[in-house]
Amino acid sequence: MLSRDQIELIHREIDEANTPQESAAFRALMDENGEARALEADLRQVAGLLGQAGAREPPPHLKRAILDALPQPARASPASEPAWRTLRTIIGRAVGGLKLGTEHLGETIMTKKAVLIGSAAVAVVLIVASIVTGWPPRGDEAGTIGGVEPAARYHGHAMTEADVTLKNPEIQTLFQNDQILQLVRSDAFRQAMQNQAYRLILASDAYRQIAAGQAYQQVMAGQAYQQVMASQAYQQLMASQAYQQLMASQAFRDLAANSAYQQVMASQAYQHAMASQAYQQLMASQAFRNLANNSAYREMMNSQAFRDVVGSQAYQQMMASQAYQQVMASQAYQQLMNSQAFRNLENNSAYREMMNSQAFRSIVASQAFRALQASEAFRSLAQSQAMSQAFMREANRNQN
Amino acid sequence: MDEQDRALVARYLEGDGEAAGDLVDRYQTRLFNVALRMLANVQDAEDVTQTVFFNAFQNLRTYDPRYKFFSWIYRMTVNESLNALKRRKRTVTLDDEPDIRAPGAAADGVAEAEDRVGRALMGLRPDDRAVVVLRHFVAFSYQEIADVLEIPVRTVKSRLFTARERLRLSLREQVS
């Protein structure tokens, strides 16, 4: 039986880490001990196999992809670049982006943005609704429906004004906003609140995690959020006929529910493309409006991360889907992209402030938010007729 | 080696964009291989390599040149690989098929060695695997491994010897 010291001596010899004296001791051990010789042979075989596996050449595109994503040297200060690279980028750009012109890929990005607008709108409604109704209950708020057992939460309970708590300070603030109050009191909104998909979302673990988070609370309490909800630009966008038509269109719903689309949005390659420095620069640049001459745009389009996205099977499926084609061809989509309301919202300072707030970033970067977005319930809600009707009716009221 | 690294870092911080390409040239293959052996997945290794470079360049101004650049960036690679493993949220066992052959069409004998080694490596604890990878695929000394992983040399030896013994048994099982 070899001692621990003898075993280590053999290992160190294989690693060429022995001193001359230790190597001499090793050779002596080999001469006199068969077990040591067997161990040494085995270990050398292991080392040989590891060496035989050798080094792999990295993919040829890797260097380009790395350099595409790097910050410019002059802007290498950590303080100058946000550390987070999350869905905030995607959602923020969803409304903050501008026209990408006639480039095919550009159109694709805009389509994603349009879809995400709907997604974000649903999220906003959920957030507002949960605050106003105090549902799901957080446990210590008088006047909520906290006494309802979890299993009964989404079975047959029609939301009424009696369910609305007035003790919550956020709600008191919201009730000072006429437009929000008008929305919440509308039949369409109530209908949406009773929607089975909505209830499933509120019952989901993902939603509960978000609602319990400090970041969520901060966003809700933030002045920026209040301003966004009350802003004319937001109301105009929500009320615009083009937006309503798009949201209500079967094609849009089909696309939002399209599994291929979901795969693309969730794919790491897509995340990389969105997070790449080239993309960030592009979206922030003045030259964005003059796309054809923008080198950052070309860099991003040529980046491996972006190519991974457009080369993925999921992406191809989405592009080939009838739903995608219908959305792209729809007049509603074209109108939305060209609408003044869309431009107003993206220029709205309150909206930008909220999108850039740390609290909002924390939410959209959270695993819970991602899980929520990926949940079947969320998708169902996004395509629910009740939700579309809620927006449409409120739009009509505002227009009238 | 370290002087060249320092010079490239200094050039980059002075605004020389080409220095970034030079640093990538110097390290991308080695970092990619560390990540590949840690993760046994080409795509994940690519992601880790990209992330490491992105983070490294983002934080170059905070990098203390008194320390070795390669220790710093290898440490980031190992840590990012460990994070990637955690994100997988699944236990990689010997039954998992390693995806390390691509890119590059390896000869049959090498491919077989890749598979055997990949499976055996993934059977190790990640911390032990990191030591083996740095020793056998980067040819670091005990001291260099200790610097990268920020652990004592005796811990490096202990992990390496234990891991190699496990590899020996694992590879023997594969043969039998």
CB contact under 8 A, B103 and A272: no
Give the residue from chain B lying closest to A76, CA to CA: B58
Work out the pLDDT band at B153, boundaries 50, 70, 90.
very high
State both tokens at A137: 């209950």
Work out the pLDDT band at A264, boundaries 50, 70, 90.
low
CB contact under 8 A, A71 and B33: no
Question: To the nearest whole angstrom, how far is the Cα of A351 from the nearest Cα of chain B?
Answer: 28
Give the pLDDT confidence of A183-209 residue by residue, as tens digits: 666 666 666 666 666 666 666 666 666
Question: To the nearest whole angstrom, how far is the Cα of B161 from the nearest Cα of chain A?
Answer: 7
Residue A58 maps to a domain: no
Which residues of chain B lie closer than 8 angstroms to A280, CB-CB? none
Q: Is the pLDDT of residue A25 over 80?
A: yes
Give the residue from chain A lying closest to B26, CA to CA: A63
User: Which range marks the domain in which residue A368 is found?
Assistant: 64-399
**Torsions phi, psi of A54, nearest 5?**
65, -170
> Which residues are CB-neighbours of B100 under 8 A, at least 6 positions away?
A56, B36, B37, B40, B41, B42, B114, B118
CB contact under 8 A, B167 and A46: yes
CB contact under 8 A, B12 and A15: no
**Torsions phi, psi of B99, nearest 5?**
-115, 75
Q: What mean pLDDT value characterizes chain A?
A: 60
Pick among B122, B168, B169, B173 to test the A interface (most A CBs inside 10 A): B168
CB contact under 8 A, B61 and A76: yes
Instruction: Say yes or no: A26 and A144 in one domain.
Output: no
Question: To the nearest whole angstrom, how far is the Cα of B121 from the nearest Cα of chain A?
Answer: 10
Instruction: Say yes or no: A178 and A239 in one domain.
Output: yes
Question: To the nearest whole angstrom, how far is the Cα of A137 from the nearest Cα of chain B?
Answer: 31
Instruction: Say yes or no: A109 and A72 in one domain.
Output: yes
Give the residue from chain B lying closest to A13, CA to CA: B161
Give the Cα-Cα-Cα angle A290, A295, A297 (nearest 5 degrees): 70
Give the pLDDT confidence of A232-261 residue by residue, as tens digits: 655 666 666 666 666 666 666 666 666 666
Give the residue from chain B lying closest to A67, CA to CA: B21
Give the residue from chain B lying closest to A56, CA to CA: B33
Instruction: Say yes or no: A9 and A109 in one domain.
Output: no
Give the pLDDT confidence of B44-64 residue by residue, as tens digits: 898 899 889 988 888 887 777
Work out the pLDDT band at A7, boundaries 50, 70, 90.
very high
CB pairs under 8 A between A and B: 129
Instruction: Say yes or no: A22 and A139 in one domain.
Output: no
Instruction: Say yes or no: A93 and A236 in one domain.
Output: yes
State both tokens at A98: 């501008």
State both tokens at B105: 């069409």
Give the total number of structural domains in chain B: 1
First to last CA, chain A: 93
Pick among B36, B58, B110, B154 to test the A interface (most A CBs inside 10 A): B58
Mean pLDDT of B7-31: 89
Of A53-67, A112-126, B110-124, give the lowest mean pLDDT range: A112-126
Which residues of chain A lie closer than 8 angstroms to B114, CB-CB? 53
Give the total number of structural domains in chain A: 2
User: Which range, A235-244, A323-332, B121-130, has the best average confidence (pLDDT)?
Assistant: B121-130
Pick among B11, B23, B37, B54 to test the A interface (most A CBs inside 10 A): B54
Residue A190 maps to a domain: yes
Residue A120 maps to a domain: yes
Q: Is the pLDDT of residue A4 over 60?
A: yes
Work out the pLDDT band at B129, boundaries 50, 70, 90.
very high
- The pLDDT score that the predictor gives to residue A51 is 81
Instruction: Say yes or no: A44 and A74 in one domain.
Output: no
Instruction: Say yes or no: A48 and A69 in one domain.
Output: no
Work out the pLDDT band at B172, boundaries 50, 70, 90.
confident
CB contact under 8 A, B29 and A17: no
Instruction: Say yes or no: A377 and A293 in one domain.
Output: yes
Which residues of chain A lie closer than 8 angstroms to B141, CB-CB? 17
> What is the SS3 string spanning A160-172?
CHHHCCCCCHHHH
Q: Length of chain A in residues, anyone?
A: 400
Q: How many C-beta atoms lie closer than 10 Å to residue A279's C-beta?
A: 26
Residue A59 maps to a domain: no
Question: To the nearest whole angstrom, how far is the Cα of B137 from the nearest Cα of chain A?
Answer: 7
CA-based nearest residue to A89, from A297, A344, A283, A266: A283
What is the Cα–Cα distance from A119 to A374, expressed in whole angstroms? 11
The CATH number given to whatever domain includes residue B152 is 1.10.1740.10
Instruction: Say yes or no: A320 and A393 in one domain.
Output: yes
Residue A71 maps to a domain: yes
Instruction: Say yes or no: A42 and A180 in one domain.
Output: no
CB of A153 closer than 8 Å to CB of A134: no
What is the Cα–Cα distance from A129 to A197, expressed in whole angstroms? 14
CB contact under 8 A, B110 and A45: no
Instruction: Say yes or no: A39 and A76 in one domain.
Output: no
User: Which range marks the domain in which residue B149 is found?
Assistant: 2-175
Which residues of chain A lie closer than 8 angstroms to B59, CB-CB? 78
> Which residues are CB-neighbours of A168 under 8 A, at least 6 positions away?
A131, A134, A141
Question: To the nearest whole angstrom, how far is the Cα of A120 from the nearest Cα of chain B?
Answer: 26
Q: Is A51 on the interface with B (CB under 8 A)?
A: yes
Q: What count of Cα atoms within 13 Å lies in the side-chain half-sphere of residue B80?
A: 24
